[in-house]
Amino acid sequence: MTIWIDPPLWPAHGRLWSHLISDTSLAELHDFARRAGIDRRSFEGDHYDVPAERHQELVRAGARLTSGTMLARRLRDSGLRFRKRKGERPLARVPDGLAAVGGPHTLDVVASSHEPPRTAGASVVVITDPQHRLVLVRSVSRVGWSPPGGKRDGEEGVRAGAVREVAEETGLHLSSTALVPLGYERITVRPGDEVAPWDTGDNHIAVFGIEVPSGMPVAPHAPDVAEAQWVTLEQGELRCGSEPWWPLVSRWLDQV
């Protein structure tokens, strides 16, 4: 198990930066970063960005020096590489992060203003009002609360599926063009670990945001939804703040 760091050659925000990785596990990387006092906000899904002035300190703490090219190869070969499109930001990587999958998988949570991947088979909509309240629903078959959403029907587009699911689960009728892309959840299932209806490889859940006027009533119109409620931000955090996808909710509330 080794922590690696490349030279501080990467310019951003008026400074030069290095990248810090593990060639074995993210747990090892996070532990090293914690002991070195590196802010968790510097984590970029598969590495930490660290400023040039801390480079030698981290080498003395045990990080081994390597070139940028070799660091990229080591990260690729480790299997820890976090795939993302330009402009996207990794928010979380959690082994077996979604209980609803029902089997081994890796959950990646990605913030993105791009349209969600075309392969997205489901969607979730973070619905808020001007008072920063949000809509949460509780399923009949699963424990806990979440924003409304669900799987697409047949050849239905992801936006069309999102507004249909919201109407069924909350009674709210939204415009598909008003939905703002917030990012997506990527559920990766290894061969041999398949659990229907999840496919081997990548499965995507699109996440949208929308603000609606205050006072719009919500009530479930689908038999598989037990409750739909408006809740305050504080109530939402108590119910869902520990979920890997919660940072996408926080980012939306920071935008509106």
Average pLDDT over residues 75-95: 91
- What pLDDT does residue 154 have? 87
Average pLDDT over residues 53-69: 97
- Contact in structure between 133 and 233 (CB atoms under 8 Å): yes
- What pLDDT does residue 196 have? 86
- What pLDDT does residue 100 have? 85
* pLDDT for residue 1 is more than 80: no
- 3-state DSSP assignment of residue 27: helix
Residue labelled with tokens 């603000």: 211
5-19, 83-97, 155-169, range with the lowest pLDDT: 83-97
* Per-residue pLDDT reduced to its tens digit, 3-33: 999 999 999 999 999 999 999 999 999 999 9
69-73, 152-156, 193-197, 218-222, range with the lowest pLDDT: 193-197
- Contact in structure between 162 and 125 (CB atoms under 8 Å): yes
H-helix or E-strand spanning residue 33: helix 26-36
* Per-residue pLDDT reduced to its tens digit, 106-142: 999 999 999 998 889 999 999 999 999 999 999 998 8
How far is the CA of 71 from the CAs of 43, 46, 75, 190, 230, in angstroms?
Answer: 16, 12, 6, 25, 47
- Contact in structure between 210 and 180 (CB atoms under 8 Å): yes
Per-residue DSSP letter, 66: -
Percent of the chain whose pLDDT exceeds 90? 86
Average pLDDT over residues 44-61: 96
User: What's the CA gap between 229 and 60, in Å, rounded?
Assistant: 53
Average pLDDT over residues 194-212: 94
- What pLDDT does residue 22 have? 97
User: What's the CA gap between 106 and 201, in Å, rounded?
Assistant: 10
Phi, psi of 119, deg, nearest 5: -80, 0
* Per-residue pLDDT reduced to its tens digit, 166-202: 999 999 999 999 999 999 999 999 998 988 889 899 9
